[in-house]
Structure 1
Amino acid sequence: MSALDVLLPARAVFHPVVDLGTGAVVAVEAHASPAGDAYAGLYPDPSADPAADRYAAVSGPATPSGPAPWADPAAEDVRRAVDAAGAAAELGTRLPLLIGLRAETLAAGEHVLSELHHGLGATGRRPQEFILCATGGYPPATRPAVAAALGGLRRAGYLVGLAGLGAAHAPLDLLADVAPYLLKLDADLARRAPGEPRRSALAASLMELAHRLETHVLAPGLETQDQVLHLRGLGARLAQGPVLAPPEWRPGMPVSVPVAAREEPSPHLAYSALGPRVSEFTLPAVTLPHTATADEVLDALNAESGVTSIVLVDDRQRPYAAVDRTRFLLRLSGPYGHALHAHRPAARLADQPRPVPRTVPAVAALRAAGQENERVYDDLVVVDEVGRCLGIVRVADLIRGLSP
């Protein structure tokens, strides 16, 4: 079966979000094709060119079956977001899903957001499993509506982001209003930074700003090893691009990370008097409902070898239990382990979660982890101000980041 045969049924392309510190895939970005496009996998990432994305959303491909030029661009954008989520669901990945939405779509009104919420929910995922990233232009007149929409999505439990940081279509004043979970650098800025000192300085300053605002930075579109190494040196923890994964990549396939195994802590992390906060080390969490069976947890662990833990959450998206990969697999692999536990609640084989507020200093989180001798290296669960799961922190990352 060719790569084209694999991509055609899903009508979507996938890009891994790679943690440069561990080499693990921590999220998946999905793009669905315009309506009527039978060759989704052959089209480039539309987020790399906002103008092309706006044209595709309104006009679609030049085929008789594409949408009419007067088609509602917001409705088409929502359809593509839901299609992308559905395609990921068909592949069975439980990694957090990154989906781009045009700023104009977010500003279109409550009815559009309601349609988006119901469509994404129909794929079987909960809001905290999505990172909804605003792309495209931000005309001054629409900025209050965009900020209000992203705020509403955050309150509903979605993780939100802004794309194009460093370009004119991603205004910096929105960072204070939106409090995004993720900031995606402009792809052209990320690629040109290694060879152009001025752009390198701009990228470094944007990443330092992001760290001070306690949000994550994603460097997209990286094509060479030098670009990866340079952006990592400036402070980028998350990255995407052809150098990390081929165009036909799908969830579960390996990635290649051209980063040295041992690195010095980034000098661009924002340190306060108490050191960096735990939010600077937070990674997206793989979550399942607290009612999930052991078999469902096993499927999620088998699908992604880089997943170290799974957080079981309640109906309010608060951590209910934590499944450590190693202990869970050992218990399930014992005599009659699978037969005894497979169809019973996974929470029986889980541990109490170890929640830490996102504003806690990393050194305090490390000390808290060390108080439990049997679970020193278990992942910590980062929570927001109302106790909802925002992600995980690996203790090994804290140790590396705080080492002199």
Structure 2
Amino acid sequence: MSPGNIDSVLALVDEVRFAFQPLINIKTGAIVAVEALARPAGAHVQDLFREAARQRRLTELDVELAVAALNSAAEHESLLPLHLNVFGGTVTHDIGRFDLVRKKLREIGRREQEVTLEIGPPFAKLNRNQLLAGVEKLRADGFQIALDGVGEGDVPLTLVADIGPAVVKLDRGVVAGLPDSSARVALVESVRHLCESTESQLVAEGVENERQLTALRHNGIRLVQGNLLAPAARRPPTASSVPGVAAEVTDPHVPSISTLASGPRVTEFLSPATMLPIDVTADKVRSVLADHPEISGVVLVDEQNRPQWTIDRNRFLLAVTGPYGHALHAKRPASRLADEPRVVNTATTAIEALNMVTRSDQYRMYDDAIVVDESGRCLGAVRAGDLIRGMAELKVEEAAALNPLTRLPGSDAIARDVARRIASGEIFAVSWLDIDGFKTVNDSAGFSAGDDLIRAIGRSLTDAAASLSSVQVGHVGGDDFLLVADLDDLVALAEMVLDPPRSAGELDVSMSLATLVCTQSTVDSYDEVSRKLAPLKQRAKSLHGSSWVMSRPGSDRIEVLRGSRPGAPPTPPTGFPTYDPEQLPGRNW
């Protein structure tokens, strides 16, 4: 495109066509929103932006494209939530221009709450306070806020913390390095933990192949966008889900990631809600349902987007299409045929939502649950079928991961807990516990006695985890157990494990406990923790009696807290010394 007067550039907005690419929940296969992507005829959208920037009218072009995207979506009569791209500079320097977007929404009969503004870079030269003030203004107007391009360019992670966006979009450049780059995998995991702390939904962009999708699923990413699942198309999708996606998620060989002890939140199963004003007529609702067979129901909301009533598709259509139904209801408020909404918030777990569903009246058993934010505004709906299937899969996965002898989780659960603690910068301890001479136990007392001994230890560890809130335990195979705990619980945990006398048949048994104190600066992964524990375990097993050895951050010395060397007097049980974490050797976290 040759340089020219900016009015000619703005005139080209009329020639810009838009492609629509869905954002997909790979837990359920549901399409949760579509992003409008500008496709100028005979040019790249960056050409328009460069010319607009040269003429110092970039914010004008930015908003004009957003308005044009709304027009295009309206022409296709899509009811899916829409994502629009805007520059951070527009939000910072020309916030008043977004009134044009709001005006266009009024014209096409949509609400700000149905639009997510993806705010993208560059950010480096922007005034942070002005940007945050602009974001708060847009949020107050009802727009959802997303932060785009995270992981590449000049998008600081502190901006995620400061803005607290509803959505964080992981840049395609990060996804492109998966799964071969361990550094990219670690980056994904770190951003996921950050999003959990800000209660933001993380979307991975640019998913192009199965290996990338598998790596994202392994890291607990539920929302994705990319050509593998659904390429950008000239028309928004008419279906509400992508076939085959949910089937992939049920792969029993894929470990699940849940950072919540009580299971995943209901937001993992979120689908768009079709929202209409509370005074809408029954005829209008019938028309919407007839034109969109993928819609399972409608939410009637007030002016603040708070759900007041819900309409189930099947019950509603039976009422208005039966004998005299149209004459009786068509011009009257649709709320006459509605039910009170079943409302949950973003902190509700899936199992809590499922309990609410199953305890409702029989005729409402499969109605959607409506998810609201802290202000009571509708964020979307959760289908009962998705909840039932998702929780059934979770229980199957949990059962498959338990050791059949002790019913304790395996190494995957410990690995996730360790990764979470490292990412959040905690100081914690990982311990490796096993039975001394266990082969001799089996050979002398029999396999049954050996199994009984392992079960007894498993019960002790279960009791310890129940009484000490920070403790996570796992049975990683044979007579090997892993324990994770805060430092404050470490002594009590060791006493509960090592103090009780153990025996198999008539054979007295001792145990070895090796502990590694971990900080973010001394270990960066579960694999490194495992590697550093191996020599500690060997040292513990070289001692007589039930033993406990420990290694601390910044020190090569292995401390013997229990047990004795051959020929030496036994080391009496000792408490774990207390200290100020600021004085840990080598502290630099």
In 2, Cα distance between the equivalents of 1:289 and 1:266?
A: 42
SS class of match (1:193): coil
* Counterpart code for 1:102: F
SS class of match (1:192): coil
Corresponding residue pairs, total: 375
* Counterpart code for 1:328: F
Structure 1's 221 and 328: CA in aligned 2 closer, same or farther, altered over 3 A?
A: farther
Q: Does 1:387 align with 2:376?
A: yes
Instruction: Give the Å deviation of 1:294.
Output: 3.4
Matches within 5 A, 1:76-155: 76-139=61-124, 141-155=126-140
Q: Does 1:18 align with 2:24?
A: yes
| Aligned match for 1:231, one of 202, 213, 216 | 216
Matches within 5 A, 1:195-344: 195-253=180-238, 256-259=242-245, 261=247, 262-263=250-251, 267-271=256-260, 273-338=261-326, 340-344=328-332
Instruction: Give the Å deviation of 1:141.
Output: 4.0
The answer to whether the Cα contact below 8 Å between 1:285 and 1:392 also exists between their aligned partners in 2 is yes
Q: Deviations over 1:342-388 (max 9, x none)?
A: 44433233211111222234433332233213223321111122211
* Counterpart code for 2:245: V
In 1, Cα distance between the equivalents of 2:323 and 2:137?
A: 49
Q: Does 1:56 align with 2:48?
A: yes
* Counterpart code for 2:272: P
Structure 1's 198 and 304: CA in aligned 2 closer, same or farther, altered over 3 A?
A: farther
Structure 1 portions without partners, runs of 5+:
1-7, 47-51, 60-66
Instruction: Give the Å deviation of 1:126.
Output: 0.9
For the pair shown, which has the larger CA radius of gyration, 1 or 2?
A: 2
Instruction: Give the Å deviation of 1:389.
Output: 1.1
SS class of match (2:207): coil
The residue aligned with 1:4 is none
With the length of structure 1 as denominator, give the TM-score of the two structures.
Answer: 0.82
SS class of match (2:175): helix
Residues 171-180 or 205-214, more deviating: 205-214
Structure 1's 130 and 68: CA in aligned 2 closer, same or farther, altered over 3 A?
A: closer
* Counterpart code for 1:202: L
The residue aligned with 1:64 is none
In 1, Cα distance between the equivalents of 2:255 and 2:337?
A: 37
Instruction: Give the Å deviation of 1:79.
Output: 0.5
In 2, Cα distance between the equivalents of 1:95 and 1:227?
A: 26
Structure 1's 17 and 293: CA in aligned 2 closer, same or farther, altered over 3 A?
A: farther
* Counterpart code for 1:185: L
Structure 1's 38 and 343: CA in aligned 2 closer, same or farther, altered over 3 A?
A: farther
The answer to whether the Cα contact below 8 Å between 1:129 and 1:286 also exists between their aligned partners in 2 is no
The answer to whether the Cα contact below 8 Å between 1:183 and 1:218 also exists between their aligned partners in 2 is yes
The answer to whether the Cα contact below 8 Å between 2:29 and 2:246 also exists between their aligned partners in 1 is no
Higher-RCO chain (CA-CA 8 Å, sequence separation at least 6): 1
* Counterpart code for 2:281: T
Structure 1's 135 and 26: CA in aligned 2 closer, same or farther, altered over 3 A?
A: same
Instruction: Give the Å deviation of 1:191.
Output: 3.0
The residue aligned with 1:189 is 174
| Aligned match for 1:372, one of 341, 347, 360 | 360
In 2, Cα distance between the equivalents of 1:214 and 1:158?
A: 17
Instruction: Give the Å deviation of 1:27.
Output: 1.2
Instruction: Give the Å deviation of 1:391.
Output: 1.8
Residues 323-332 or 18-27, more deviating: 323-332
In 2, Cα distance between the equivalents of 1:299 and 1:231?
A: 39
With the length of structure 2 as denominator, give the TM-score of the two structures.
Answer: 0.58
The residue aligned with 1:168 is 153
RMSD: 2.9
Instruction: Give the Å deviation of 1:338.
Output: 4.8
The residue aligned with 1:49 is none
The answer to whether the Cα contact below 8 Å between 1:26 and 1:96 also exists between their aligned partners in 2 is yes
In 2, Cα distance between the equivalents of 1:330 and 1:364?
A: 31
